[in-house]
Amino acid sequence: MTPIRKIIFLLTDIICISFSLVAAIWLKFDKLDPQHIHYLLMMIPILIPVCIISFWAMGLYNRTLRFTSIADMVAVFTAVTGCSMLKLSSVYFLESFPYLSAVFIIDWMLSLILIGSSRIAPRIILNMAELTPVRNWLFNKTNESPKRVLIVGAGQGGESVLREIKRNFNLPISVVGLVDDDPKKLGQIIHGCPVLGNCEQTDNIVRNHRVDELIIAIPSASGNELRRIVKLCQNSRVRFKTLPGLQDLIGGKLVSLQLRDIAIEDLLRRPPAEINLAEIAAYITGKTVLVTGAGGSIGSEICKQILPFQPSILLLLGHGENSIYSSQQRLAKSPELGNTVLIPIIADIQDRVKIGQIFKAHTPQIVFHAAAHKHVPMMEINPEEAIKNNVIGTRNLVDAAHENKIERFVMISTDKAVNPTSVMGTTKRVAEKILKGYAKRSSTRFVAVRFGNVLGSRGSVIPLFKQQIEDGGPITITHPKMIRYFMTIPEASKLVIQAGAYGKGGEVFILDMGDPVRIVDLAEDLIRLAGLEVGKDIEIRFTGIRPGEKLFEELLTASEGITATRNSKIFIARPEEVNEKELCEMVDKLETAAREGKRHKIIKLLQTIVPSFSPNRDMVHGDNVSKETRENSGEHPRLRVIQS
């Protein structure tokens, strides 16, 4: 409340205090005798300062009138009651005036009505202005017509959003109503807005009320529920916004009116990953942790998730200086940094000597290995680079970890390593084998964590689709039956860190990826979320399977089974026997072939190490890559067609 408004309300309270006492005496005695006037002239100058001080102490002059609430009315009630008690006690000092308790009851009631009304009247006036076209004239600072909004969810989330919209008069938003599947709420009016129907009727309501935007205010809604709501409005061409998920609400991240566009991550929303904080803290707190690929999507998120457990030193290793610098700056600003020391390191994991020097200089105790070449078609064209980075780079790190007797080494693998049809997937499978070989004879606990695609990572389909939508289309998809497993980057990173606590050496951990998702469905959902129509505004074009791709990915080979862990989303693949001596010889040959650029030999060696590898025919028949492969549009010869 501004100083001017404080003065106005202070004067108003003085008038109310004086008037209520005068009116109470007059109402009781039907007149004002000289005795009454004498009492008033003597007591009002004393009572007014006492009451004003009492009101000030209760904070009545520090409250925002636009947001007057029940708590404010309780404060008014307490302050007025206290002042009335003071007035009543004055009778005992004025025995010459026969006062009755009824006078003070009337005075208390009048004071409560008058002073309470002075607080709530401004809000009532503003709310009435909100419900009429006057609002547009009084509060809209722009000439644009208000956006017509429909809120999905008439529970606590919907009420909060609606209340905040009503409070923010400068927002060019007009709420036409709410929808909710609870039949008991149908027809109810919340903050002046009616509940117009259930979610099944959303599409008709959007059309009939000319809705421009839909706000889904159900923080606890699952991904399936959000997809259902979006599909119900697939023909209405409106934009969608939502509240943060339940996990963010629990974490205290929700602030007033924190709405955002619905992201594809919301449509794939799953229950929050169950993480045992005590287990993670036990092996990370106070340790020196090295993260390779710390500038990448997964690596930088692992760094972020590690910070709350307060490692003493966090080493950020990467080949790209810009990405490592950006990651360091983000982490340095984190409120969870605490006493952790951040050390950026620019190095290439292919440089064996440099990696050895880093391990000796910093003596890390925990390593999370996230550095890798992961782009499937790109590695089909450049298999020697996949070998040098994913295989030789991993061997350099594993060897340095073994020689320096670090405690744990956790490598990020991929579902593409299972029955691989790509060079990238096969190199990650070879890297898994290297870890298993060392685990047999090393004191270091070497483990790998295998999972599928992560939403929003660099090079993934979601950023590509978003860019294609911004460009006006078309969205390009390789095959209409292409399906993939997806996780969010934070969920994958948390489970990777948790898996590190379970590793005893040589395990391949598999993360529960949930249900697979058709890529076509993802594309269509993204188009609808942008308020556009599939096929009319944005076309979907199929370009053919790219080299190294499969229609679907697998998380286990035929010979592998799984063993449960204490976390319901983390499993252990059945151990695979590895002849370390033969493997080392083959990896040495791979390195030589890669250095010499002999692609045909690389493929043959990969097939020897990973017999289930089914390579692209161009790579099998020679070192020259065909035009179709270079354009990433060649059909893979070994497609396993599944039913949609």
pLDDT tens for each residue of 451-461: 877 766 665 67
Same domain, 344 and 489: yes
Secondary structure, 3-state, 517-544: EEHHHHHHHHHHHCCCCECCCECEEECC
Is residue 622 within 8 Å of 600, Cβ to Cβ? yes
Question: Whose CA is closest to 378, among 632, 570, 189?
Answer: 632
> Does residue 642 lie within any of the structural domains?
no
Q: What is the mean pLDDT of residues 57-68?
A: 69
Domain boundary among 227, 262, 297: 262
Helices of type H across 374-488 = 376-381, 383-386, 393-403, 423-439, 461-470
Per-chain mean pLDDT for the chain? 78
pLDDT value for 393: 95
> Does residue 135 lie within any of the structural domains?
no
Q: Show Cβ contacts of residue 236 under 8 Å, excluding neighbours closer than 6 positions.
A: 203, 206, 207, 211
What number of other Cβ atoms are within 10 A of residue 327's Cβ? Answer: 25
Lowest mean pLDDT segment, chosen from 19-28, 409-418, 558-567: 558-567
Same domain, 7 and 79: yes
Q: Using 50, 70 and 90 to split pLDDT, how confident is the model at 594?
A: very high
Q: What is the DSSP letter of 285?
A: T
% of the chain beyond a pLDDT of 70: 76
pLDDT value for 269: 56
- Separation of alpha carbons 197 and 177, rounded Å: 9
Domain boundary among 80, 98, 130: 130
> Does residue 41 lie within any of the structural domains?
yes
Question: Whose CA is closest to 231, among 519, 525, 480, 469?
Answer: 525
How many degrees, rounded to 5, is the angle at CA 254 between CA 250 and CA 258? 150
> Does residue 271 lie within any of the structural domains?
no
What number of other Cβ atoms are within 10 A of residue 642's Cβ? Answer: 11
> Does residue 576 lie within any of the structural domains?
yes
Same domain, 416 and 555: yes
Q: What is the mean pLDDT of residues 609-636?
A: 56
Same domain, 248 and 308: no
Is residue 416 part of the annotated active site? The answer reads: yes
Q: How far is CA 541 from CA 420, 467, 477, 535, 551, in A?
A: 26, 15, 6, 10, 16
**Considering 416, 428, 433, 550, which one is annotated as catalytic?**
416
- Separation of alpha carbons 493 and 332, rounded Å: 19
Q: How many domains does the chain have?
A: 3
CA atoms within 13 A on the CB side of 44: 17
Is residue 313 within 8 Å of 289, Cβ to Cβ? yes
What number of other Cβ atoms are within 10 A of residue 530's Cβ? Answer: 17
b/e map 335-351, b = 16+ CB within 10 Å: eeeeebebebbebbbbe
What number of other Cβ atoms are within 10 A of residue 90's Cβ? Answer: 16
- Separation of alpha carbons 34 and 47, rounded Å: 19
Same domain, 188 and 92: no
Q: Is the pLDDT of residue 233 over 60?
A: yes
Q: Using 50, 70 and 90 to split pLDDT, how confident is the model at 247?
A: very low
Q: Show Cβ contacts of residue 1 under 8 Å, excluding neighbours closer than 6 positions.
A: 9, 61, 62, 63, 64, 65
For residue 179, the cross-strand partners are 152, 197
Domain boundary among 236, 262, 288: 262
Same domain, 72 and 106: yes
* pTM across the whole model: 0.63
Instruction: Report the largest interatomic distance among the alpha carbons of the chain, rounded to a whole angstrom.
Output: 119
Max avg pLDDT among 491-495, 512-516, 581-585: 581-585
Q: Using 50, 70 and 90 to split pLDDT, how confident is the model at 261?
A: low
Strands (E), 3-159: 147-152
Q: Is the pLDDT of residue 59 over 70?
A: yes
> Does residue 267 lie within any of the structural domains?
no
Strands (E), 269-363: 288-292, 313-318, 341-346
Q: What pLDDT, in 10s, does the model give residues 459-482?
A: 567 778 888 888 888 888 888 888
- Residue 135 identity (one-letter amino acid): R
Same domain, 476 and 416: yes
Tokens of 26: 């007059």
SS3 of 374, please? coil
Lowest mean pLDDT segment, chosen from 352-356, 511-515, 520-524: 511-515
Question: Whose CA is closest to 426, among 228, 278, 611?
Answer: 611
Same domain, 553 and 591: yes
- Separation of alpha carbons 580 and 434, rounded Å: 8
Q: Is the pLDDT of residue 91 over 70?
A: no
Q: Using 50, 70 and 90 to split pLDDT, how confident is the model at 157?
A: confident
Secondary structure, 3-state, 209-271: CCCCEEEECCCCCCHHHHHHHHHHCCCCCCEEEECCCHHHHHCCCCCCCCCEECCHHHHCCCC
Same domain, 36 and 184: no
CATH code at position 487:
3.40.50.720
Q: Is the pLDDT of residue 232 over 90?
A: no
Q: Show Cβ contacts of residue 291 under 8 Å, excluding neighbours closer than 6 positions.
A: 299, 302, 303, 306, 314, 315, 316, 317, 367, 368, 370
Same domain, 307 and 410: yes
Same domain, 28 and 117: yes
> Does residue 530 lie within any of the structural domains?
yes
Q: Residue 33: give the domain boundaries.
A: 3-130
Output 309 or 241, whichever has higher pLDDT.
Answer: 309
Same domain, 245 and 388: no
Peptide bond into 308 cis (omega under 30): no
Q: What is the mean pLDDT of residues 399-419?
A: 91
Tokens of 140: 């809209």
Tokens of 239: 């934009």
> Does residue 336 lie within any of the structural domains?
yes
Question: Whose CA is closest to 518, among 467, 464, 461?
Answer: 461
Q: Show Cβ contacts of residue 38 under 8 Å, excluding neighbours closer than 6 positions.
A: none
